[in-house]
Amino acid sequence: DAKTTQPPSMDCAEGRAANLPCNHSTISGNEYVYWYRQIHSQGPQYIIHGLKNNETNEMASLIITEDRKSSTLILPHATLRDTAVYYCTEYNFNKFYFGSGTKLNVKP
């Protein structure tokens, strides 16, 4: 069962930062939060993950609240190619739980 909640859709202007929120209020102390995205007709692609510290890689930044019950994925300069469904997932006991995701529409 999905344990994360995300807004169904968001719009972002090309070149601007996209901030995608996720609530994972049932997360336990040792569960990681992972983010994936799925571009139409492809398999989900890994973006970033974290436990309690903020993380950054070449694709995005991840901000996790101190109580770990929510997080925000930040795409600093969104491009049209970032249009996709973004999934916030919990990893627990070898299982990744995918919610319904957020459809990010990047507009020119």
Give contact residues for another protein (rule: CB under 8 A).
2, 30-32, 34, 36, 41-46, 49, 51, 87, 91-92, 94-101
Considering the complex, state which of residue 57 and residue 79 has its C-beta at the smaller distance from another protein. 57
User: CA-CA distance, 49 to 25, in Å (whole number)?
Assistant: 17
Instruction: Report, in Å, the least distance between residue 68 CB and another protein.
Output: 13
Between 13 and 51, whose beta carbon lies closer to another protein? 51
CA distances from 98 to 5, 8, 35 (A): 10, 13, 9
**What secondary structure letter does DSSP report for 48?**
E
What are phi and psi for residue 4, nearest 5 degrees?
-120, 150
| 14 or 38: CB nearest another protein | 38
